[in-house]
Amino acid sequence: MGLDNLFPFKRNFLDLNGQKYHYLNEGQGEPVVMVHGNPSWSFYYRNLVTALSGQFQCIVPDHIGCGLSDKPSDKDYDYTLEQRIDDLETLLNHLEINQNITLVVHDWGGMIGMGYAARHPEKIKRLVILNTAAFNLPKTKPFPIPLWICRNTYLGTVLVRGFNAFSSIASYVGVKRKPMSKAVRKAYVAPFNSWKNRISTLRFVQDIPLKPSDRNYQLVESIDNSLEKFQNIPTVICWGLQDFVFDKYFLNVWKKKMPHAVVNEFHDCGHYILEDASNEVINIIQDFMVKNP
């Protein structure tokens, strides 16, 4: 099965200072903005878009360096969290999305999406949280050794950019309940098909803040501090507990930050919760939307 069959959506592009920023814009109604992480792309949300676009306007960008967006060098793009938030803000301004946003976030999408929400809390109507964070590494959580190697060593650079290790391995270990089909696995890794085109995968890992002197640490702290603004809006959490990065330590922080959230734990699922438990999670989200009109 080819990509067009798995991903049967119109490709839209916004010019961001000379870079093509790809996004899906499917359906009409209240906006549902879905923000992906690393090393995935808008493909991750394909089944959720299909399920919701009959009633909602589904907007799903590919971050620069990911998916069908351009993959510029460092001299042509600033691969930082703040720039990612700026990009999302530019897109939503371009589409005149100003209110009643349901924000769906996964992985780095939590930092980026909640970074946007922190700037515009009045625009957010509902939150859907999937194996992600909007705060710095929990004190009880050791930083995973594979991420440390990718983040801090030349070996990590070679593995990620030379061998596509991050994206390729994630397509296997990111699911626990059932393996991805070969066609789906190929679709996940397809955009990251050369040293040049894997720059974003590496920069995302290198951008993880671990100590106060790291570039994003204070920005993430401010996003974290903004979370209390969202304790009065409907929130649902779906979490794969077999995720070796975004594990129970992260989920426990979310439970403390968002005590009102409805939490759904999947003990046999991994990081790519929308692959492992696609039907259940989509049904939960659809039910959540109906119950919180």
- Residue closest to 38 by CA, chosen among 89, 93, 112: 112
pLDDT above 90 covers a percentage of the chain that reads 78
Stretch 170-183: mean pLDDT:
91
pLDDT category, 163, cuts 50, 70, 90?
Answer: low
Q: What is the mean pLDDT of residues 111-139?
A: 97
Cα 147 from Cα 63, distance rounded (Å):
20
CA–CA gap between residue 33 and residue 102 (Å, rounded): 6
Q: Provide the pLDDT confidence category of residue 208 given band limits of 50, 70 and 90.
A: confident
**Listing from the earlier edge strand, what are the strands of the sheet with 19-26?**
12-16, 19-26, 57-61, 31-35, 101-107, 124-132, 235-240, 262-266
Question: Is residue 145 predicted with pLDDT exceeding 80?
Answer: no
What is the arithmetic mean of pLDDT over 152-172? 75
pTM reported for the whole predicted model: 0.95
Contact, 31 vs 56, CB < 8 A?
A: yes
Residue 71 has pLDDT above 70, yes or no: yes
Judge whether residue 226 has pLDDT over 70: yes
Question: Structural domain boundaries of the chain?
Answer: 3-291
Q: Which residues fall within 8 angstroms of residue 47, CB to CB, at 6 or more apart?
A: 274, 278, 282
pLDDT at res. 1: 61
> Considering the domain 3-291, what is its CATH architecture?
3-Layer(aba) Sandwich (3.40)
Which residue has tokens 């769906």?
104
